């Protein structure tokens, strides 16, 4: 990936987040976007070596638009100052668990799992955790997983949700609203020759979490 080109464009966009500047620099954006899509294609191929269905995805269908949805936001800046992509079975709009990566001028951020699923899906995940807690705990509290991602990240309920036993060993986890393992890196990692295999290494460790979550959703 062209680190200097991407870093320079995103940094300048952060300082000039307006349509006039963006239109004047659209060719630069198109070059950055094409490079990003190529990089995501390489990451997809790497993930497919251990999660074969991901290999069926088209890179351009995994990346997110740079335009922000400002309809309900006080911040009316028209553009995102990052590049993001998610690889999940069924595509970008799928409700399945996924492998996510994002870069901005300061850091690279990756994550696996499901973020803020809708209520019916959240109930299924909580139920699967409650029914198979030993299996779930072995995944998210495994030394290798924790060494790479730390603890699962999530906002959570104050009390155990209705329908679940507050005395259950799974009680704390069923309070979670999301089930995501994440890791931040300095943006300079993008310039390293082993950037793609290094990202794939993290994603491979997170695959059991994604498999568990997909199973909960019936996939």
Q: What range defines the domain where residue 184 resides? A: 3-216
Instruction: Tell me the pLDDT tens digit for each residue of 184-217.
Output: 999 899 999 899 999 999 999 999 999 999 999 9
**pLDDT grade for 219, boundaries at 50, 70 and 90:** low
Percentage of the chain modeled with pLDDT above 70: 100
Output the average pLDDT for the chain: 94
Asked if 205 and 148 touch (Cβ cutoff 8 Å), the reply is yes
Q: Which residues of 86-124 are buried (b: 16+ CB within 10 A; e: fewer)?
A: bbbbeebeeebbbbbbbbbbeebbbbbbbbebeeebbbb
3 pLDDT more than 90: no
CATH of the domain at 118: 3.30.930
pLDDT at position 56: 95
pLDDT at position 206: 97
pLDDT at position 121: 96
Structure tokens at 99: 């492998």
Provide the domain count of the chain: 1
**CA pair distance 93, 96, nearest whole angstrom:** 9
């Amino acid at each position: 990936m062209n680190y200097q080109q991407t870093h320079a464009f995103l940094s300048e966009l952060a300082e000039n987040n307006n349509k006039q500047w963006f239109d004047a620099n659209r060719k630069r954006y198109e070059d950055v976007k094409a490079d990003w899509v190529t990089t995501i294609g390489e990451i997809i191929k790497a993930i497919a070596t251990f999660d074969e269905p991901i290999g069926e995805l088209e890179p351009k269908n995994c990346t997110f638009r740079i335009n922000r949805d400002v309809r309900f936001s006080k911040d009316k800046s028209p553009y995102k100052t990052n590049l993001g992509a998610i690889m999940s079975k069924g595509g970008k709009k799928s409700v399945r668990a996924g492998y996510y990566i994002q870069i901005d001028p300061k850091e690279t951020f990756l994550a696996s799992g499901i973020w803020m699923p809708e209520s019916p899906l959240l109930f299924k995940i909580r139920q699967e955790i409650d029914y198979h807690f030993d299996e779930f705990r072995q995944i998210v509290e495994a030394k290798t997983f924790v060494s790479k991602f730390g603890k699962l990240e999530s906002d959570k309920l104050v009390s155990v949700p209705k329908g679940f036993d507050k005395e259950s060993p799974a009680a704390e986890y069923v309070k979670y609203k999301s089930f995501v393992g994440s890791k931040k890196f300095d943006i300079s990692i993008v310039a390293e020759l082993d950037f793609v295999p290094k990202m794939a290494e993290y994603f491979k460790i997170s695959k059991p979490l994604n498999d568990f979550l997909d199973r909960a959703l019936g996939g």
